Amino acid sequence: MRLSHFEALFFFAMIVSTVFALITKNTPREQLRYGLFVFVSFLFVALAVGWIMYPLPL
Amino acid sequence: MEQSEQEMESTPPPEVYRKPVNLAAALAICSGGWLVPGLSHILLGKWIRGVIFAVCVIVMFALGLGMHGRLFDLVVEEPLQIFAFIANVGVGLPYIVAEKFGLGIGSMSITTYDYGTTYLWVAGLLNYLIILDAFDIAQGRKP
């Protein structure tokens, strides 16, 4: 199975945010809001850190 | 009167806490949840949540195997592998089945090896969190 970096990140964020939301919040509305927040945070932070590291000679 | 009915409709339903089950039953439920991800919530009557948890953990585990991640065994000579083993074994029956069929050997030459290994770890660690959640529900600490 060949997933790109972004696809691997996307599926990881989706699954982990779903479990986190269901574990930490009780009502469906809270779960949806928190799950979306965690999911978007995963993607945003990963992309931001990626761009920050881009000019570094690694 | 009409206003109070409207207020009742707009307020969310009260959260129902379970009557605590005894510790032995709670541990048995958690053991079931360790063996089959999501089973503990299903046993506690939370069908939808249990099915979603099962799908999440099993899909993550399958993706990890598909990306040629590595499953770690308990090797006494390499003590640092114990942590990886603990993370892997958290997924329960799928780990045992995968080991039985020789899956999860891992191939470092494949670019997705690291991702796959991480997926396999996180699948097990998520299942530990799910088991703890089920324990709290069984003890009446969570709705």
ipTM of the prediction: 0.89
Task: Check residue B13 and give its pLDDT.
Answer: 58
Q: Do B59 and A19 touch (CB under 8 A)?
A: no
Contacts of A11 (CB under 8 A, 6+ apart): A3, B60, B63
Task: Check residue B2 and give its pLDDT.
Answer: 53
What are B74's two structure tokens? Answer: 């308990």
Q: Do A26 and B66 touch (CB under 8 A)?
A: no
Residue-wise pLDDT for B76-127, tens only, equals 888 889 999 999 999 999 999 999 999 988 888 888 899 999 999 999 999 9
A7: left (phi over 0), alpha (psi -120 to 50) or beta: alpha
B17 phi/psi in degrees, rounded to 5: -90, 140
Mean pLDDT of chain B: 89
Number of Cβ within 10 Å of residue A45's Cβ equals 11
Distance in angstroms (rounded) separating the CA atoms of residues B130 and B39 = 10
Which residues of chain B have a Cβ shorter than 8 Å from any chain A Cβ?
Answer: 12, 15, 49, 52-53, 56-57, 59-60, 63, 66-68, 111-112, 115, 118-119, 122, 126, 129-130, 133, 142-143
- More confident call, B108 vs A49: A49
Distance in angstroms (rounded) separating the CA atoms of residues B33 and B90 = 10
Radius of gyration over every alpha carbon of chain A, rounded to an integer in angstroms:
14
Task: Check residue A43 and give its pLDDT.
Answer: 96
Q: What is the pTM of this model?
A: 0.88
Is residue B50 predicted with pLDDT exceeding 90? yes
Amino acid identity for residue B124 in this structure: G
Residue A12, H or E segment? helix A5-24
